[in-house]
Structure formats: C-alpha cells, structure tokens
Amino acid sequence: MRILILGGDGYLGWPTAMRFSARGHEVSIVDNFSRRRWHLEHSTDSLTPIRSLQERVDAWREVSGHEIKTYVGSIEDGEFLDSVIAEVLPEAVVHYGEQPSAPYSMKSRKTAVETQYTNVIGTLNLLFAMRDHVPDCHLVKLGTMGEYGTPNIDIEEGFIEIEHKGRKDTLPFPKVPGSLYHLSKVHDSHNIHFACRTWGLRATDLNQGVVYGIETEETAQDERLVTRFDYDQYFGTVLNRFCVQAVIGHPLTVYGEGGQTRGFLNIRDTLQCVELAVNNPADLGEFRVFNQFTEQFSVRELAELVQRAGTELGYDVEVRHFPNPRVEAESHYYNAANTKLRDLGLKPHYLGDELLRSILKTIERYKDRVIERAILPTTKWNPGELVAEMPAASEG
C-alpha cells in the first residue's frame, strides 16, 4: 500500500513509519518538527537522544534496505498538504500530526489557540484534500479516550443506542472532554464523521488510551532509530513520568487522590492497533470508532506498580500526593469497552513487573539526560483557584 503518515517524526509516528516500511509498504511521512520546537522553547528534551529526521531515514535505509520519503511542512497549510496528497496518492493516511498535550493546551490563551488551530484546521485540510484527490483513501486518525471524559455509565466504542420518549436511535457517544486539547479532538471526530456522511469518505477514529514504553521491534535494531521519550510536565504521560522519577530518585507525582482511572497500552500495541485498522479498512462512507487500550488503571495503582518494580531493582521509590493542577473527578466510575480491535486480532502486551523493569533499565541508560526542573507541573486548569505550592523534591 501507499501509506502517508502525518506527524511521522513523533513518538508514535516514527515507529509506525518503520513498521509499515518493514512490511513492504510504500511509506511517506509529513512533519513540521513542532514537537522539537516546543521542547526547544521550554528548554526541555526527549530522555532518549533522537537523531534528525534525515539521519533516521538514512539509518533505516542502511538497516532495512527500505526507503521512507519525507515531506517537511505544516498540515495547517492547505496548499502544502494538497500538493503532498496529490503527489503521494495514498491508499491510507495515518494521522498523528497534532498537538498532543492537555497541559500545553491549558498553559495560556496562545497555546490554547495554537492547539485548536493546529488540530482542527489541520484535520479539516486533510479531509478536503482526501475528498478532492483520493476519495477512496482510508483515514486512520489518532483520537483519544479523553474525548469521553468520565461518565457515570459504561463507555461504548463511539456510539450508543438511546431510547427516548418511546423512540430509539444510535447516536455518537456523549463527549465531556477535560481540556482544550481533548476538546480539539472532539471537534476532529465530529468533522471526520461529517465528511464520511456527506462526502462518502472512510475513516477509523482510534480513541487511544495513555501510551507508555520506549522500545518497538524496529527501534531496537539500531540506536539511531530510537523514538523520543517524554517525561516533562507538558508532554510526559503519567507512567513514563513515574518510571523516570523512580530511576532518578524523585518522588512519584500522584496528583490529588490518585483515583483518576484511564485506559493504558504499550507502544508496541499502538503499532499493532494502527496496523490492524489499516489492513482492515472501513467501508466507503463509514465512520468507525475503536477504543484503543488494553488495560485500565488508576494513577495510584500505577504508582504502586512502579514503586514495586523499582524497589526490586534497588531504587528507593517514594510515592507522594501533590495538589492536582487539573479540574477533574479524582474518584469516579470508569468502564470502557474495547472489543473491536481484539476482534480484529490484537494480542496485547500487558503491564507487569517484567515489562516495567525493562522500561526502568532502559531509562537508567539515559538518566544523566533528565532535566529534573521540567517534571513538576506549573500549569493549572483554573489559575484563579488557590492551589498549594508543589513541595520541592527534597522535602519530606
């Protein structure tokens, strides 16, 4: 297949590009290096030393014998994206090309507008380019479980059957997003659904849980192919952050009670899920939603798992509760369906002590690159509220 990956320089995009290339697909990627720019602006960096995109592509050619074509530009630029789509004529587009951080979206008016513009306008440009150039192409879009929020009912996969005043219908599952980033993803989902209904496009919306892990089958082949690994307050997901904290002796930062529960999956399973979606495309005019996670954990449970694995490796791991900078329910019901990808053949890598120890050992190799000041949160969802100052790592 001809596969175009938007955001192909990113944490998930680069391993995905290599995975499809290794399978013999004709892979092209688009990126504008915004994640690298955001880190530069905040004087932070990936824990893992990542090469430039050109060095990565050259190393992949050397290791695998396969080519990956690159296009540098922003998908918010409709003319640029049109030209790429018209040249590549993709049969599948994997769309990671968005600002992925809730804290970054809540930092300021500027970052909120940037998030919404980048994500919503970029996706709209893609939908028009597909309509005009490749109407049979299958869009596989990375969404988020955060679109749903934490309703007091079971979360279905995208749609719910409702009976109201004696009548029934199947409608999109209600969305109660918890940040302006998550809200941008809801807008994306609605726009994609509209394009499928109106223009006959085909799309799979992958509502992904929180991803953790460093290594994939392809990144393990050569140090130059490693993907990025973020742990900072803006782009570091919770389990990745806990693992880094355990290795460097920083208290694990559990926000509030730690009862916040979400779906999680290993980075290897992200690649599995995307590959399953691409290999089993939606029908023309169909808008599918898959809930993409393998297990559910509360933040407190994750901290306990990391503490246990870290202790077994000789680390002195302290779990500490910090004031929650977010506005969210800290103790709630959470039960989400995730059967569609399993039905397609997903074989999960479950989180256990052995996998956690492997992640911790990898982090140990790079611990001298940790920028500790970047870990504690400074962005508050409601800055008007009085929130206690975060205790320093050295305090008891």
Among 111, 115, 144, 379, which one carries the catalytic annotation? 144
Residue 185 is among the residues annotated as catalytic for this protein: yes
CA distances 220 to 19, 63, 165, Å, are: 12, 11, 57
d(CA 302, CA 171): 34
Place of tokens 């995975």: 19
Residue 315 is among the residues annotated as catalytic for this protein: no
Q: How many CA atoms lie within 13 A of 43 on its CB side?
A: 4
CA distances 10 to 138, 160, 192, 344, 396, Å, are: 21, 33, 22, 26, 37
Structure tokens at 376: 């504690």
100 in helix, strand or coil? Answer: coil
Among 71, 181, 231, 334, which one carries the catalytic annotation? 181
Place of tokens 């559990």: 254
Task: Report long-range pairs for 349-354 (Cβ below 8 Å, ≥24 apart).
Answer: 349/266, 349/268, 349/269, 349/294, 350/294, 350/295, 351/212, 351/239, 351/264, 351/266, 351/295, 351/297, 351/305, 353/305, 353/308, 353/309, 353/312
- 175-193 b/e (C-beta count within 10 Å ≥ 16 → b): bebbbbbbbbbbbbbeebb
Give the catalytic positions in this structure: 144, 181, 185
